[in-house]
Amino acid sequence: MKSKTDPRHKKRIKRVQAIFAWSCGNQSQIDSDIEPIITNLPKIDKIIAKNAPKWPIEKINKIDLSILRYAVWEIIIEAKNPIKVVIDEVIEIAKEYGTEHSSSFINGALGSIVKQIKK
């Protein structure tokens, strides 16, 4: 992460917040920034479930799940930015918005996903 004022970082935070709001029941209006993410949720959630088998989707903290969903979408579906950059960014977001364990949980799940990609 370059800085908290970087427009790309702010956009990632905005998307994570929108996914979080959507997952908390604000599903009537989907922000155009997250529409492609919401559209791909079945695929994204399947990838998360496979790589975090001890945590069923419905048991994952909503902010952690929102961050993971965003990261999986950006890494696998959008695939425009280097994986390392995306992981570094979402870990910073997890440290800022999640619990004290969020960053390590997300890092572990994403590490497993990246290993699957490289196979």
Q: What percent of the chain lies above the pLDDT cut of 70?
A: 96
The per-residue pLDDT for range 59-109, each reduced to its tens digit, is 999 999 999 999 999 999 999 999 999 999 999 999 999 999 999 999 999
Average pLDDT, the chain: 90
Domains of the chain and any CATH numbers: 7-23+34-118 (1.10.940.10)
Q: What is the DSSP string of the chain?
A: ---TT-HHHHHHHHHHHHHHHHHTT--SS--TTTHHHHHTHHHHHHHHHHH-TTS-GGGS-HHHHHHHHHHHIIIIII--S-HHHHHHHHHHHHHHHS-TTHHHHHHHHHHHHHHHHH-
Query: What is the structure's pLDDT at 118?
Result: 78
